[in-house]
A and B are shown apart, each in its own frame.
Chain A
């Protein structure tokens, strides 16, 4: 999924004209990052907030990126942190159950409006929501984005071996959950 050629275009433009380069970065990455965040936070309004915060942080810290190797792992790392911040905030404040979609949708009228999956999709999302946070991130990046473990390792600052074990455990738990229904 990593398009390193595209990243090079953005980096070249950023060096020539920061504003234009950033514009291109937002255009190229807003969808990918939105869906990555959305799958973690579920609600559109939370994903929207996290996406805007992601680009705001990227913009503010653009100078520090110039020493990094990959634009896309840098952006995914910021987006993942933003999504996890929202989840943690929700866990601290929320009294309602947040381990299935109905629990989350109960807290937001908007939530149910923007989910159009069938029953099987809803079960899968519920199974994913039962995973520990980090396993959920690993599962989503691998299952939906087909992200190589090496890239994931840079984003999550975890060894490839641990990520493979994490994905393996996640799939096993999801399978067990789906079989019990």
Chain B
């Protein structure tokens, strides 16, 4: 006899040993909060989107704009701001749309695909934030050397540009790498099991 048939028979026989909940025990369960990974991914993503938007607004005070004007960077900065708000808007829209698509009534493979797709949008957003802040930081640095504020003691004529740029890029990269590592850690923990299962299903499609 097929081993699995044997197991099937026993599996059915053991059905009578299953716990049996009363309706009155099920009602309170409906009020409990979910702890599913989708919920956590959603919460963390919202925090990420909100935090970077908040920082964008909070850091741009009058003093900042005065400084930007001083180094002839204002027009470029306004351009960057307009672009970044548009980009954030598009990302939020995409994220929300993908999140809405996540449904537990899909097939397991489709569900995993949708969750990973949602995550990917936020991943691209983080990447976009990192790259665009990197470019902005370096541009800001270049402009402030080209048009040094009075009393800064910088003379663009005598400056060793090679070294100055190298330091600027180095500091920017270090900052971005730290952020990236932190990000990997958070999602590594959250998505490990999902990725493993998804790979398992993917293997079947080959």
Same complex: no
B interface residues, Cβ below 8 angstroms from A: none
A interface residues, Cβ below 8 angstroms from B: none
